[in-house]
Amino acid sequence: MAKSSVSRKELESDPRFRINPEALDSLFRTHQIYSYELTEIPVGKIRRYKNQKLSLLTDTDNYRYLVNPDSDENKAAYQRYCKDATNTKDNAGRSEEMFQALMTQFQKEPYDPQKGIIIVDQYNCILDGLHRSCIFLRLFGADHPLTVLRMTIQHGNRIKLLHPLFELKQALFHRSR
């Protein structure tokens, strides 16, 4: 893997935001980071790319659980998410209770990037902050502006192909409504 253009020290010392140290470790372990910018996007524009699939936040197990935590299907799916090895690397204590506590916290306190910034890539795919993004989508709706850290990272060809097709599909869906 080629060297990143952005250093860890540069990200850690930027006073405009804070990145969870475990998330930062993961980012540098798995990605080349070429640049970053603090920007504002509607929360509904955030996507998730996992297992070679690009999806809306509303299609994630996290969001479905948040919308209907009493559903056995949603609860089981979210529990599987919490136990997945890729999700426990930066937070081994993920649980339904922690997610509900985070929701309660954000109902009381405004989002503060200096406490923990939501990170997306150049395609607005979530790199860190899936739970927080889902909470904001649930509380404020898809058009709510959200300050994020957008990183330009190296991607494989698959996402470069999927992203424009996904955007076209979304545009056609909204036009047909």
Most confident of 55-59, 147-151, 162-166: 147-151
pLDDT at 114: 87
Lowest mean pLDDT among 12-21, 77-86, 104-113: 77-86
Question: Domain ranges in the chain?
Answer: 8-176
> 60-87 burial string, b = 16+ CB within 10 Å, else e?
bbbbbbbeeeeeeebbebbeebbeeeeb
* pTM, two decimal places: 0.82
Lowest mean pLDDT among 63-67, 129-133, 167-171, 172-176: 172-176
Q: What is the band of 175 on the pLDDT scale with cuts at 50, 70, 90?
A: low
**What is the average per-residue pLDDT within 109-136?**
91
